[in-house]
Structure 1
Amino acid sequence: MLPQFGRQRQIGRDTSVRRFWQDADRAVDAQGALLATFDQMAALVRDFNAQRAQARDEERQRRAGRTATRATHAATADCGCGTVVVGRWTGHETRALREALRMTVPDFARHLGVSPETVSGWEHHHTPIPPPTMATQAVLDETLTLADSNVKARFLLILDTLNHRT
């Protein structure tokens, strides 16, 4: 049986996409693997959207003359997969990752496939100019994803410290 594509809403949520993956999982006898992956991606998207909304709120508060405490741009995902998500890589996040990995600027640059000057440029600007390319951001994401739990914990601690200094 093929999945239905109609929009079905319950309590403001669109369930048709999840239902599609549920039906697809059953059709190919994936034993829940497709649905579990969909649920993980949905959790990551929710985290990213929450971070983006928080950043918009902070910007509104800043423009209104209020000082808002910067929240970290990284958060542990609610999906239970133990991942750490970065919505947008800026100088703070790249520096925190490099320090959490205990790498020097040249070693980190070599790992990413960029010049040490590029890494230094990112780290000395809150918003890197130019920002990491999409390919470089994907390498940063992968590096963080593959890091062990100690590196991820250090990353979050270092990032929190860097964010509270500014």
Structure 2
Amino acid sequence: MATSQLRQQERKAQQLPPAPHRSGVSGGITPDQLTRARRELGRYLAQWRVSAGLRQDELGKLVCYSRTHIANIEAGRDNTTRVFWHNADTALGASGTLLAMSDQLHALVRGFQAQRERARDQERQKTATPPPPFTSPVTDCPGECGRGPTVIGRWTGREVRALREALRMSVCAFAEHLGMTAATVAGWEHQAIPALPEQSALDQALRLADTDSRTRFRLLLDNPDAPIPGANDSPSTADTPAPTTISRAYRS
């Protein structure tokens, strides 16, 4: 570009007001502030365009945008991309003024979006449903407790012991009732997880239990820290009904 043209653009630039400096916005950012900032940037683009002696369509050809798009940007309806502002700044000889203003606007938009996301997070925390209270792993039975079906998702030592105590059986008697060894039952009650065939045997034992035993089973699950005195003792044959093996099909 000729020296005379450069000097002419410098004189025109001196006639334009300096770009406002927005280092930050005190308090929260509002949509109205974003609208004013876009319009302000659009007005400065129009001033630089007029100062360069260009029409909207002529500027559009220089930056590969349509005249309508340029008109929308100057009206503050579209702040477009940083690439546009870089090209427009270069084409109009704004010496980085328009690009700096667009960067400030984009920072304002990012701050507004972050502020809105924080507000949404706070609202979600206020309306979040508190965690449900602890409930027994046994599904609720319809109607009076003990009359509906009782289901265990996974048998652990806690449920095994509760069932044994509900049936009023010692470890040996309960093991015989299931068709297992006493060592196996004792292992379950000491945190060993029954295998799948053994889980099925326990399911069947629970299904075959009478109403009173199922009721006791629920009560024992709800009060695991209150074991029955003598529950681990080996009762005499006179005090204990003869167990009936129910899981011969589960033996390997």
TM-score by length of 2: 0.34
> The residue matched to 1:75 in structure 2 has which SS?
coil
Decide which of 105, 114, 128 is 2:180's aligned counterpart.
Answer: 114
Structure 1 residue 133: deviation in Å? 1.6
Find the counterpart in structure 1 of residue 205 from structure 2.
143
Unpaired segments of 5 or more residues in structure 1? Answer: 1-67
Structure 1 residue 75: deviation in Å? 2.1
Structure 1 residue 124: deviation in Å? 2.1
C-alpha RMSD of matched pairs (Å): 2.9
Mapping 1:3-82, distance limit 5 Å: 70-78=134-142, 82=148
Tell me which moved more, 78-87 or 88-97: 78-87
Separation in structure 2 between the aligned mates of residue 123 and residue 100 of structure 1, nearest angstrom:
14
Find the counterpart in structure 2 of residue 95 from structure 1.
161
- Structure with the bigger RCO (C-alpha within 8 Å, sep 6+) is 1
Separation in structure 2 between the aligned mates of residue 76 and residue 107 of structure 1, nearest angstrom:
29
Find the counterpart in structure 1 of residue 216 from structure 2.
154
1:96-129 superposed Cα distances (whole Å, 9 cap, x missing partner):
000000010001111112221111121122xx2x
Separation in structure 2 between the aligned mates of residue 79 and residue 133 of structure 1, nearest angstrom:
32
Greater share of residues in strand: 1
Separation in structure 2 between the aligned mates of residue 120 and residue 140 of structure 1, nearest angstrom:
14
Separation in structure 2 between the aligned mates of residue 161 and residue 85 of structure 1, nearest angstrom:
18
Closer, same or farther: CA 79–87 of 1 in aligned 2, 3 Å: farther
Return the letter of the residue paired with 1:110: E
In 2, are the aligned partners of 1:69 and 1:164 still within 8 Å (CA)? no
